[in-house]
Amino acid sequence: MPAASVMDFREQARRRLPNILFEYIDGGSYAEVTLRRNVADFEAIALRQLVMRDMSALDTSITTLGQTFTMPVGLSPVGMSGMYARRGEVQAARAAKAAGVPVCLSSLAICPVEELARDAIPPWFQLYVLQDRGYTRDLVARAKAAGSPVLILTVDLPLPGARYRDIRSGFTGTSGALNALRQAVDGLCHPAWMWDVWLRGRPHSLGNIEAAVKASGGGDDYLGWIGRNFDRSVTWKDLDWLRGLWDGPIVIKGVLDPADARDALSAGAQGLVVSNHGGRQLDGVSSTISALPRIAQAVGGEMELYLDGGVRSGLDVLKALALGAKACFVGRPMAYALASGGQKAVSQMLEIIRAELLVAMTLTGCARVAEAGPYLLDT
């Protein structure tokens, strides 16, 4: 069945992926309250229908941090995407490049930043700060050498939130022969994935931080390794340190409160991603779309504001723009599409969002995304 909506890729991904990977992508933390809230709060916002305005020429393009894109949508950094499709990060980046939208590469990607720069496009590089600052420094230098135009510092994962599904699936916290057998059976029940990713998508190591993982004694338990090796001592002062390593724009990802937004601005960040990590970290916090207006009021106009979390259609994109975002990023929609059909499916997913955005603009009387504002909402 062809995908009509962004969420149609979810079912295709569920069928194609081993259960352990599908649950890792699909799940959130604890009772998944924030995961659901991210989507539900978008649904609760009404657009204001306005008709009979000349809508024959629409402009969805944006210019942000010195780059121009065809629409205000990008691909969020999603760890281990190379396990969802063969060399998945490269496939996603090619789709983003063809669509003229930004792509972010996770520190925890399978494909290293050099591979994307060589085979697709230099990505916006997402950084996690490791306790061993030497590796962090090297990572930033590698992203710079690969031509990454933007550094995104993710600040909402000093340690991983408890993800019940990952414990139940054996993704984390379990080792031993029985778990290995369970995983092998899970893989064998998904032969298309076995052939495409397990056999032909190697190496499966975390390409950006391979040396750090090896030096710290391996990372069989991915989330456990993160808990032991990410640096929880990071503060806004560390932005000075980062600024010494990186002369391009720095975007802070994982801000949900106006006070933090103001601190990020004072610390010299050029942009923010209003994000709660897709409901994967502190469960019970606000949805990103409900947090956005207060943050826009605090720092809007002084820095670039982006949002991710719960964006499932082009209509959601317009709602976020109306409330102050410059652009939105999509995490799970990208991962589901990648798993279901690689680059082609990610391209389709982006085209679905683009088509929906055009309809939303046409029927709200918004000819240019740059003109989006609260007047687009029926409040």
Ligand X SMILES: Cc1cc2nc3c(=O)[nH]c(=O)nc-3n(C[C@H](O)[C@H](O)[C@H](O)COP(=O)(O)O)c2cc1C
Asked if 108 interacts with ligand X (CB under 6 A), we say yes
In degrees and rounded to multiples of 5, residue 267 shows phi and psi of: -80, -5
Q: Is 78 in the site for ligand X (CB under 6 A)?
A: yes
Rounded-to-integer distance, Cα 291 and Cα 257, Å: 7
Residue 115 binds ligand X (CB under 6 A):
no
Is 364 among the residues that bind ligand X (CB under 6 A)? Answer: no
Q: Distance (Å, rounded) from C-alpha 85 to C-alpha 242?
A: 32
187 binds ligand X (CB under 6 A): no
Distance in angstroms (rounded) separating the CA atoms of residues 336 and 338: 5
| Cα-trace Rg, the chain | 20
Residue with Cβ nearer ligand X (201 or 309): 309
Take residue 362 and report the two structure tokens written for it: 């046409």
Contact call for residue 252 and ligand X (CB under 6 A): no
Q: Is 91 in the site for ligand X (CB under 6 A)?
A: no
Separation of alpha carbons 213 and 232, rounded Å: 17
When the beta carbons of 60 and 107 are compared against ligand X, the nearer one is 107
Q: In this complex, which beta carbon is closest to ligand X, that of residue 59 or of residue 257? A: 257
Do 152 and 273 form a contact (C-beta atoms < 8 A)? yes
Of 137-166, which residues contact ligand X (CB under 6 A)?
Answer: 154
Provide, rounded to whole angstroms, the least separation between the CB of residue 286 and ligand X.
14
d(CA 35, CA 374): 25
Among 18, 74, 77, 249, binds ligand X (CB under 6 A): 77
Residue 230 φ then ψ, to 5°: -75, 150
Residue of 34, 60, 106, 343 that binds ligand X (CB under 6 A): 106
Q: Return the sign of the alpha-carbon dihedral for residues 324, 326, 331, 335.
A: positive
Determine which one of 163, 277, 326, 354 is catalytic: 277
x/- string (CB under 6 A) for ligand X, residues 205-244? ----------------------------------------
- Asked if 327 interacts with ligand X (CB under 6 A), we say no
204 is catalytic: no
Determine if 311 is a binding residue for ligand X (CB under 6 A).
yes
Q: Is the dihedral of CA 356, 360, 363, 366 positive or negative?
A: negative
User: What three-state secondary structure class fits 326?
Assistant: coil
To ligand X, the closest distance from the beta carbon of 278 in angstroms equals 3
- Residue 297 Cα to chain centre, angstroms: 24
Among 64, 76, 290, 340, binds ligand X (CB under 6 A): 76
Choose which of 79, 88, 161, 341 interacts with ligand X (CB under 6 A).
Answer: 79
Q: What is the number of alpha carbons within 13 Å of residue 354 lying toward its C-beta?
A: 18
**Footprint on this chain of ligand X (rule: CB under 6 A):** 24-25, 38, 76-79, 106, 108, 126, 154, 253, 275, 277-278, 280, 308-311, 330-332, 335
Active site residues: 277
